[in-house]
Amino acid sequence: MALMQRLEMRQGQSLVMTPQLLQAIKLLQLSHLDLVSYVEAELERNPLLEAGDGDASGDAALAEIGHPAAAETIRAGDIDLSRGEIEHDHAPPLDNVFDEPVETRSAAEPQVDAFTLSTPAWQTSGGSFDAEDTDFAGRLVSEPSLHEHLLAQLDLATDNAVERLIGRHIVDAVNEAGYLAESCDQLADNLGVPVADVERVLGIVQGFSPSGIAARNLAECLAIQLRERDRYDPAIEALIGRLDLVAKRDMGALRRICGVDDEDLADMLAEIRQLDPKPGRAFGGGPVQTLVPDVFVRAAPDGTWLVELNPDTLPKVLVNQAYHAKVSRQAKGESEKSFISECLQNANWLTRSLEQRSRTILKVASEIVRQQDGFFASGVAYLRPLNLKTVADAIGMHESTVSRVTSNKAIGTARGTFEMKYFFTASIPSASGAEAHSSEAVRHRIRQLVDGEKPDDVLSDDALVKKLMREGIDIARRTVAKYRESLRIPSSVDRRREKRVGMR
């Protein structure tokens, strides 16, 4: 067979991941805090983008650009929990995320294009120095961090340059809980000094406040605090050495090891409970991020569910068409015209992507509410099994899109704020062949059974399996044990011992 070269023309279809499409996909999975940071970076990069002034209300601005309604009503009667069916008689058409063409602007539209659902606080401060906080005295008052607190004590504890160098490395190795995260051998190797020098300086640092700081383990942390209280006698030293028995509440073994009676052992345990197992937490760590809902679900007076976007998590972005027209007329070279055109394209695509992001979040959240109507009406016990494919098929999207939407997002309800991923639970089969049970609902039932047990009738894992089986839940013993451990419920032996101690 002869080898030869030739040219062929073929026609086919393929998905090209353009930078704009990658941007839209990226925006889907960002949390609202990450989205704010991303939009702020785009505002600095693109001269045609502006932060909104927040004068117009969210609904008015939405109507101006033809945005979909920011809320959707879910009828409670749409869901039959016994059959697991959903009716979409009044549901809006649920199209895919990125299949709509980018709309062109008509000459009759205003010169400033806006996408907004609210005015977050970070956008209303303005861009001048006059709008900034001028309370300089208030800025000077700040709580010192644990690292700063320890370094200040180190400077007073020793004036030896070598000890200060070792001490700084020890302080750097203390984690937020107050424990030494590196061993003395590691610190000695890194510094090129003898281990004995590191241990000597560590003893100095362990004398700093808060008491128990820079300990290498829990036992050492408690021992440091007891020494400062002058309560570290041989009996309590033996007790600290067997914290595993303390966790198991094995009082008989502790009495034999410590050589004390029940009353002395009770006093020693009460004294240990007064100690701080994490001395560093008094100074706090990084900023605590409050779980802010991206979607609110509330009951309407007529018994329906109203699903609406949280306006505080949606940035307001403006495309300044007037400024674009001005600079376009003054552009001279091809590079300037190309730059302006690219900025306009990126600005329009950003507003389009933000709009599509809001549409998609609302669609997914609305479908979750339809599927989990029993949870919103009656609680965790009525949470149904749900997976990404069920939601994706119902709203006509791909599973990966739903997965991105539910990442780093939360739903605010009357029962609290829950991550969207919370509503996707595994399925536990029913013993009677009825509808399957949600794994989260089964965990909730296990917690109820354990909380309701009597001291003389503690339920073992086998007993829990039998009780759940009588309630129509077909579950294996190892699954019950796994769920019990995930709920941090001790074993039946430990619970029985704990309840007996509590009765004394």
The full set of domain ranges for the chain reads 19-100+108-124+291-300+312-422, 146-283, 426-503
Q: How far is CA 452 from the centre of its chain?
A: 31
Q: What whole-number distance in Å separates Cα of residue 226 and Cα of residue 504?
A: 27
Order of all β-strands in the sheet with 112-115: 49-51, 317-320, 112-115
Considering the domain 426-503, what is its CATH architecture?
Orthogonal Bundle (1.10)
Each as own residue / partner, the long-range contacts of residues 335-338 (CB below 8 Å, 24 or more positions apart, any chain) are none
429: phi then psi, degrees, rounded to nearest 5: -65, 155
How much of the chain is helix, strand and coil, in % rounded to 5?
50, 10, 40
Report CA 402 to chain centroid distance, whole Å.
Answer: 18
The CA dihedral of 321, 323, 324, 327, to the nearest 10 degrees, is 160
β-sheet with 295-299: strand ranges across: 71-74, 305-309, 295-299, 410-413, 416-419
- Give pLDDT tens digits along the chain (504 positions): 668 888 888 888 776 667 767 777 888 888 888 898 999 999 999 998 888 764 433 333 332 222 344 566 655 444 433 333 333 333 333 344 434 333 333 333 333 333 333 333 333 333 333 434 444 444 445 577 888 899 999 989 988 888 999 999 999 999 988 999 999 999 988 888 999 999 999 999 999 999 999 999 999 999 999 999 888 889 999 999 999 888 888 888 888 999 988 888 888 898 998 999 999 888 765 555 678 899 999 988 888 889 999 988 888 888 888 888 888 888 888 888 899 999 998 889 888 889 999 999 999 999 999 999 888 888 888 888 899 999 999 999 989 889 999 988 999 998 889 999 999 988 888 776 677 888 888 889 999 999 888 888 888 999 999 989 888 888 888 989 888 888 888 888 888 877 766 555
Helix (H) or strand (E) holding 392: helix 388-395
SS3 for 472?
coil
The whole-angstrom separation of Cα 399 and Cα 411 is 19
pLDDT of residue 106: 37
Residue 171: what pLDDT? 92
Residue 205 to residue 147: CA distance in whole angstroms: 12
State the Cα–Cα distance between residues 271 and 434, nearest whole angstrom.
53
Please spell the DSSP secondary structure of 394-416, one letter per residue. HHT--HHHHHHHHTT-EEEETTE
Distances from the Cα of 477 to the Cα of 75, 462, 466, angstroms: 39, 6, 9
Both structure tokens of 279:
């001395």
Give the number of other CB atoms < 10 A from CB of residue 86: 15
Say how far apart CA 236 and CA 108 lie, in whole Å. Answer: 83
Of the candidates 354, 339, 346, 347, the one whose C-alpha atom is nearest the C-alpha of residue 318 is: 347
Q: What is the pLDDT of residue 288?
A: 57
**What's the confidence (pLDDT) of residue 287?**
57
| Closest by CA position to 164, among listed 146, 144, 191 | 191
pLDDT in the model for residue 74: 59
Per residue, the 3-state secondary structure of 280-313, as one string, reads HHHHCCCCCCCCCCCEEEEECCCCCEEEEECHHH
Distance CA 15, CA 21 (A): 10
C-alpha radius of gyration, the chain, whole number: 31
- pLDDT value of residue 21: 73
Q: Which two tokens stand for residue 435?
A: 């509808």
Asked whether 108 and 393 are in contact (CB, 8 A), the reply is no
Place of tokens 């406040």: 209
3-state secondary structure 318-336: EEEHHHHHHHHHHCCCHHH
Query: What pTM value is reported for the model?
Result: 0.59
Per-residue confidence (pLDDT) for residue 32, from 0 to 100: 87
Which pLDDT does position 15 carry in this prediction?
66
pLDDT number for residue 98: 39
Amino acid 65: pLDDT: 28
